[in-house]
Amino acid sequence: MSGTADGGGRGVLVTGASRGIGRAIAAAFAADGDRVAVHCGTRRADAEETAASLPGAGHTVLAADLTDPEAVRRLVADAAGALGGIDVLVNNAAAMIAHPLPDTGWDDWVAAWRRTVDVNLLGAAHASYCAARDMIDRGVGGRIVNVGSRGAFRGEPDHPAYGASKAALHALGQSLAVSLAPHGIGVASVAPGFVRTERVAGRLSGAEGEAIRAQSPFGRVAAAEEVAAAVRYLASPGAVWSSGAVLDVNGASYLRT
């Protein structure tokens, strides 16, 4: 039996949910009684661990290469089949490859841009298309929440493709918010700052950790659960009027005007 966009027991697909922010997002929805499809790229064992840790039942693990449009289409179809339909899509998966222009050769520059845009923007766009069509066909409305970045606004000199792709992801969300509202589908984004995850543990414990924490007047970085709480809110029944919004979750480390 499928869930509904505005009630408990929804079907939720979270991309890049094997660890870090994605794992925290999956846990937040599962705690509400939702059924979660935990997507992974190559970290199948981590994704299985995430799914096993989730409360409730009906969760599933699905692997797919988000750079392959057909693989994305199969991913969404498989998630819809396993969950009884998709009520919430969270585009969380991301590639972040260092390629500062002065220090990067041409071939590496091109490869970094291609990989980053394919995952962060096109993968999310294709997943949004497929999930939204599922929502429209079922006539139940739904939510799409994109995990963007503070870097979309302040710039990412060492990761320019990452910053550019996240800015484009925010713009995609706003375009879809207008397009999909007549179908009862809300679309919004979060823009986190630095978040404590397994991937950056070494940086936080090393020489640059103090400077990273000092970016926020709180003197710390975000917990993955704090980003997950923002995603959960934007997917909630009371947040439909926030469709089109980009919610900063950066501890006042970067203030937009």
Say if strands 222-223 and 195-196 run parallel, antiparallel, or are unpaired.
parallel
Distance from the Cα of residue 205 to its chain's centroid: 25
Q: Among 128, 149, 165, 189, which one carries the catalytic annotation?
A: 149
Instruction: Give the count of beta carbons closer than 10 Å to the beta carbon of residue 216.
Output: 17
Q: Are 17 and 26 in contact (CB under 8 A)?
A: yes
Q: Among 128, 165, 166, 243, which one carries the catalytic annotation?
A: 166
Look up 166 and say whether it is catalytic.
yes
Look up 2 and say whether it is catalytic.
no
Q: Which of 70, 46, 51, 73 is nearest to 61 (CA)?
A: 51
Q: Among 162, 165, 189, 253, which one carries the catalytic annotation?
A: 162
List, in order, residues 6 or more apart from 75 with CB less than 8 Å away: 13, 39, 62, 64, 66, 127
DSSP string, 199-235: GGHHHHHSTTHHHHHTTSTTSS-EEHHHHHHHHHHHT
Q: Which of 169, 168, 159, 171 is nearest to 113 (CA)?
A: 159
Could you tell me where the DSSP H helices lie in 63-200?
69-83, 106-117, 124-138, 151-154, 160-180
Look up 149 and say whether it is catalytic.
yes
Q: How far apart are CA 141 and CA 5, in angstroms?
A: 6
Catalytic residues: 149, 162, 166
